Every structure is written in structure tokens, then in C-alpha cells.
Amino acid sequence: MIKIYDGCKTEEILNRKINSYEREEAAVKAILSDVAARGDTAVLEYGKKFDGADIAALQVSEQEFAEAESKLTPEYKQTILNAKANIELFHARQLKSGFEIKKPGGVILGQKYTPIDTAGVYVPGGTASYPSTVLMDIIPAKIAGVKNIIMVTPVKADGKVKPEILFAAKTAGADMVFKTGGAQAIAALAYGTQTIPKADKIVGPGNIYVQLAKKQVYGLASVDMIAGPSEILVIADGTANPEYVAADLLSQAEHDVLASAVLVTDSRRLAIDVQKEIERALPLMEREQVARKSIDLNGKIIICESIEKAVEISNEIAPEHLEICVDNPFDYLDKIQNAGSIFLGKYTPEALGDYYAGPNHTLPTGGSARFSSPLSVDDFVKKSSYIYYTEDELKKAAKDVMSFASSEGLGGHARSVGVRVNKA
């Protein structure tokens, strides 16, 4: 049963203990090294070992894409297209253009944006599969102008990818899809294999082995984030519907036994009613065992003196998903400093953001919303500055530049300016 607290230390609210993963890290390191050395052969062997999948070819064929689409209803395909349109609309607004400053004397300073060449997208396929993640991770890369979008996803023992995943990949614009998951898939993207191209950046959620692999390959490739268990924090007052609030808490609890679902409220009556509603709703869930364990381990209801105090608590926690279930949610929007994604009002469940509304659902977890942001078009572009000086302008700046260089003991720097301005 979810526990009710009259106030609570922030560090006790979410499951954010620093765990030791020495055994898992060692296993991941060995897999990375093996894939780097043996490429496709190692990837295929690990697929057979961990997923029971004995497949002949890693890359999904055009025939497999066609077969997948044929298994889906027109209604479902339209759902994917509708979600794609919403995600594109939102992310297209994130595109940035560079700038250029022209100073007197002919000096030109500027900044330009360039898309990365190859993005690697990891899509989970373990306890659940997520066509929504396909859309969320590929569409921003496509909008950014990435030339090569490579998707990897694990398969079941039959060696097939779920039709929904393949249709979403084709719809979003993946250039190639490969049937591999786990640490071996991250290794393949980081090092490249005989079949799988090397990626400049690797994005997407996954289990602890996937996250540790992303952590270990950082530097060979960039990564979006090291994602932890999913989180939701709901701020609600006494006017909130306890059935709605309980449903939203459970929607995150069903992800994973380590997921955290927290309600912060100024109403004891709401707290008690939500607690009762959760117990009523749990037996009706398809993933009851997962959700119940999550609620028992990490679920909390915090009673505080006001919604303003609830906002303070939320900012300390910096949750992945934040719902503000009050009649006047926009009154609090500017007061929210730390949150991955914010859901305003009583008719904006977190599930809207997961699938359909448009903003990205790949979000910072574990309090990292204090310093990081949701996946976006920005993740798939690089910024380069550029500088142009005329001979006359270099002469004007030379004394200052050479003074800086000399003060740092870098005579070579000073000389690179001096040889240009002290010509006979």
C-alpha cells in the first residue's frame, strides 16, 4: 500500500540511492570489448544467448517492413501518423539558425549549426516495447537534418521485431533497423561492425546494461543521458479527483518495479482517497505485479501545508514528470524550476506526453532535471564558431593577444601573432 507522510525528507521521497553495479559493469565491459573485436559475430552470439534469437541477418529487410505494416489495422497506422504530426510540429520549432556579427574594420564573428552525420537510436523490447519511443527519438534527429539514422532493437526468440515498432521506424524516417539489443547493441553503435554503422551519438532508454554501456562508450560517441527508473510527481489540491490522480500515479508505477510515483498535496482527505483508489484499481491492471511492487517500494503521498510548499518540494526533487492538478495551474508554471516535462491542469495526464501531444518523452531522471533537458533537436546538432580578421584588425588586437599569451607562458601563441604584425 502507498504510504502517507506528514512531511518527508527530500532524499526519502524517491528511490535515488547510489547503487554499486560492479558485477554489471564488468559484464558490460566484457561485452563491449568482445563486440569491438569480433563485430557481427559477437552481436549475433549475444542475441542467441540473452534473447534466444538465432537469426541469420541483423538488418531488417524491406520485406519485413512490408509484412509488419500488413499486420496493423488502418486505425492504428493513423494513430501513429497523428502522433508523428504532433511531434513534428513541436520539434520543428526547436530548429535554430546561426548568427553573424560584422564589426567595423572587417572583423566577422559567427556561429553555425551542423547536424551530426549518424545517430544511433536504441528502442527497448524487453518487458514492454515502445513504438512511441521510436517516434520521439527519430523525429528530432530527422528534423535536425541527420543524414543516417540507425535504429537497434532487441527481438524475441522468433527473431522478429514487433510490427508496431517497425511501422513507427519506417514512418519516422529510420534509414536502417537492426535486430539487436542490450549492451551488445550499444557496443555495435559505438564501435561499428561489419553490418552496423558507427554512430556519432547514441540515444534512447533501456535497462541497466544498456545504460552502463552508454556510460562506458561515452567519448567514442556522445550519448543523450544515463536514464534511471521512471518517475512521476503529482501536485494536487483538495479539488482534484482522486480517481484521476491514482490513475496517473499507477500509469508510471506499471513501467518498472523501481519506478517512483509520488503525490504531494495540501489535502489530507485527498491523500486518503487516493490511497484507497490505488488499492481498488491495482487488481484491475494488466501489469498489477509490477505496479504493486513499485507502489509498495517507492510510492509516497506527502501532505504539506500549501500548494506553494508542494512546488518547493517538487523543485527540490526535480522529477522526470510533473503534473499540477489544480484549477489554476498556470499560476504555478513560472515557479517550477526543475522538471523534465510539466503537465498542467486536471485533464492533462502524463500519458498524453508519452504518446501524442508533441513534446518529447525522453526525459531527465534521478534529479538530473536540475541541470539537463528533454531530448530535442539540439541533441542532434553541433555548434561551431567562426572568426575572420583583416590584417589591419589583427594589428590592432595584437598587443592584447600577445600580452595574454605571455602571461600564460605560451610564447608560441604570442609568436603566431607577432610573425604576422611585425613583418619588415
* Average pLDDT by stretches of 10, the chain with 424 residues: 79 62 93 98 95 91 96 97 98 96 96 98 81 97 98 92 96 97 97 98 93 96 91 97 98 92 97 97 96 95 96 95 97 97 97 95 93 96 97 96 96 96 72
Phi, psi of 242 (to 5 degrees): -60, -30
Q: In this predicted structure, what is the pLDDT of residue 8?
A: 66
- pTM of the predicted model as reported, rounded to 2 decimal places: 0.92
Whether 321 is catalytic = yes
320 in catalytic set: yes
- List the catalytic residue out of 277, 320, 323, 350: 320
Query: For position 19, what pLDDT does the model report?
Result: 66
pLDDT of residue 12: 62
pLDDT at 178: 98
pLDDT score recorded for residue 116 = 97
Q: Which of 91, 255, 321, 361 does the annotation list as catalytic? A: 321
Q: How far is CA 29 from the centre of its chain?
A: 23
Distance CA 209, CA 229 (A): 13
Residue 129 has a pLDDT of 75
pLDDT of residue 11: 62
Q: Scanning the structure block, which residue is given the C-alpha cell 519516422?
A: 172
Check residue 17 and give its pLDDT.
63
